[in-house]
């Protein structure tokens, strides 16, 4: 009898709707915090860094202010801090693009923000990361320690997607490129397939991408270049027959949808959950079909200007699923890479010198690189 009473009491405590968590004294910070894709190591010419996102949702029925993010390794050694405006600059509401808060540091009930984190590393990558978030809620300024997160420290090693050069890695890996922040829900799953994507345009010694008539695709140095298999693999998707655009910021030959955004494209299944995506190819140039086995270096198609593209270029990225955008982008390194120069912004402030051969790197945003011929 006594046991039954105790069980009833326990049940009442667990299930009573009267004790709402928001009414508890000393209650936890009412935040949902998730890191949907484990932090991965990006190896670039300036060293290693970690790129990932933290999704934060305010679960309190009142606005919450976000003031600080501290990142440490598993031993508690400081790696990175973002505070106040530096934090808000790298936070965005998913539906509103980058830096889009009307009232930047505050989120209302059930509002979510994504923190686009970029942690520069001075030494080897840590195995584990810890995060402390500081918020001001209805109780006061408080901190929240997230569960430890493991780091994915083993990027794929791949061959070149193109031959020769010079190729400018436009919109390439960095924390603020358009690709990096393109969080897009596909089939109900929000993901950043283009987290490490690059738009390769070929440049001449004056850093121009074309010579002659700017409205003709054949004027562009990238047009018709071979797109190469970066590893042995199986062709897992092919789309063809989308006409090329007239070069220009607003001209598109077809309406841009999830189906057409990548233009004519090939996806190559490299195994181990890695898929290489080649977009904007010339119509009729694709030389492989779904199911074909190809060897590293095989020609898949030719660079063009189809889909959501302003001029001939190769959009290339690696992701974890056989879908142009419904996948999470993953980093990789090239076995060797010649770094030739860099532009400050796309198409301006460019400089170049003698190629410097580096091992196990990926090109970063606006670097100029050269692949073997
Ligand atoms: Zn692109």
> Domains of the chain, with CATH numbers?
31-150 (2.60.40), 157-370 (2.70.70.10)
Burial group, residue 21, by CB count within 10 angstroms (0-12, 13-18, 19+): exposed
Residue 24 is predicted with a pLDDT of 55
From ligand 1's centre to the CA of 110, what distance in Å? 32
From ligand 1's centre to the CA of 262, what distance in Å? 8
Residue 53 is predicted with a pLDDT of 95
Residue 94 is predicted with a pLDDT of 74
Nearest CA to 133 out of 119, 115, 120 is that of: 115
Give the C-alpha distances (Å, rounded to integers) separating 259 from 178, 186, 281, 308, 323: 20, 11, 14, 11, 10
Q: For 155, how many CA atoms within 13 A lie in the half-sphere containing its CB?
A: 26
Contact 157, 362 (CB under 8 A): no
Task: Name, in order, each residue with C-beta under 8 angstroms of 147's C-beta and a sequence gap of 6 or more.
Answer: none
Output the CA angle 82-88-90, nearest 5 degrees.
75
CA 186 – CA 191 distance, rounded (Å) = 8
From ligand 1's centre to the CA of 368, what distance in Å? 16
What is the DSSP track for 22-66? GGSTTPPP-EEEE-SS--EEEEETTEEEEEEEEEEEE-SSS-EEE
From ligand 1's centre to the CA of 190, what distance in Å? 18
Q: What's the distance, CA 348 to chain centroid?
A: 24
The H or E element spanning position 12 is helix 2-15
From ligand 1's centre to the CA of 199, what distance in Å? 5
Residue 21 is predicted with a pLDDT of 55
From ligand 1's centre to the CA of 18, what distance in Å? 52
From ligand 1's centre to the CA of 253, what distance in Å? 17
From ligand 1's centre to the CA of 197, what distance in Å? 6
From ligand 1's centre to the CA of 316, what distance in Å? 7
From ligand 1's centre to the CA of 155, what distance in Å? 21
Q: Going from the first residue of the chain to its last (373 residues), give the mean pLDDT of each consecutive group of 10, the final group possibly shorter.
A: 41 47 70 94 93 94 92 96 89 64 72 93 93 93 95 92 96 88 90 96 95 97 98 98 94 92 97 97 98 98 97 98 96 95 89 94 96 93
From ligand 1's centre to the CA of 194, what distance in Å? 8
From ligand 1's centre to the CA of 56, what distance in Å? 27
From ligand 1's centre to the CA of 178, what distance in Å? 8
CA 78 – CA 74 distance, rounded (Å) = 10
Question: What is the DSSP code (8-state) at residue 17?
Answer: S
Residue 278 is predicted with a pLDDT of 98
CB crowding 50-79: b at 16 or more within 10 Å, else e:
bbbbbbbbbebeebbebbbbbbbbeeeeeb
From ligand 1's centre to the CA of 172, what distance in Å? 9
From ligand 1's centre to the CA of 198, what distance in Å? 6
């Amino acid at each position: 009898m006594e046991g039954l009473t105790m069980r009833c009491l326990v049940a009442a405590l667990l299930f009573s709707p009267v004790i709402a968590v928001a009414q508890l004294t000393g209650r936890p910070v009412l935040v949902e915090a998730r890191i949907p894709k484990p932090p991965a190591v990006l190896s670039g010419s300036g060293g290693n860094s970690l790129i990932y996102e933290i999704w934060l949702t305010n679960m309190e029925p009142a606005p919450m202010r976000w003031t600080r993010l501290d990142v440490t390794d598993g031993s508690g050694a400081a790696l990175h801090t973002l505070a106040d405006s530096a934090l808000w600059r790298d936070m965005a509401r998913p539906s509103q693009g980058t830096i889009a808060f009307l009232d930047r540091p505050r989120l209302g009930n059930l509002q979510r923000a994504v923190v686009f984190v970029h942690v520069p590393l001075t030494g080897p990558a840590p195995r584990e990361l810890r995060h402390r978030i500081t918020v001001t809620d209805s109780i006061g300024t408080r901190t929240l320690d997230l569960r430890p997160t493991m780091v994915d420290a083993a990027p794929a090693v791949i061959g070149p997607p193109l031959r020769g050069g010079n190729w400018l890695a436009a919109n390439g890996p960095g924390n603020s490129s358009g690709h990096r922040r393109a969080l897009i829900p596909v089939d109900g799953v929000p993901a950043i397939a283009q987290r490490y994507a690059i738009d390769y345009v070929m440049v001449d010694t004056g850093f121009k991408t074309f010579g002659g008539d700017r409205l003709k695709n054949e004027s562009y140095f990238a047009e018709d270049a071979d797109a190469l298999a970066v590893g042995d693999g199986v062709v897992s998707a092919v789309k063809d027959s989308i006409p090329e655009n007239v070069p220009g910021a607003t001209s598109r030959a077809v309406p841009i949808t999830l189906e057409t955004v990548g233009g004519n494209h090939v996806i190559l299944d490299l195994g181990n959950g890695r898929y290489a995506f080649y977009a904007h190819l010339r119509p009729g140039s694709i030389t492989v079909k779904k199911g074909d086995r190809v060897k590293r270096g095989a020609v898949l198609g030719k660079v063009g200007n189809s889909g959501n593209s302003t001029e001939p270029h190769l959009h290339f990225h690696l992701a974890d699923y056989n879908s142009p955008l419904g996948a999470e982008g993953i980093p990789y390194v090239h076995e060797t890479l010649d770094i030739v120069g860099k532009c400050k912004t796309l198409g301006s402030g460019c400089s170049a010198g003698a190629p410097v051969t580096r091992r196990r790197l990926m090109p970063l945003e606006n670097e100029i690189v050269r692949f073997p011929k």
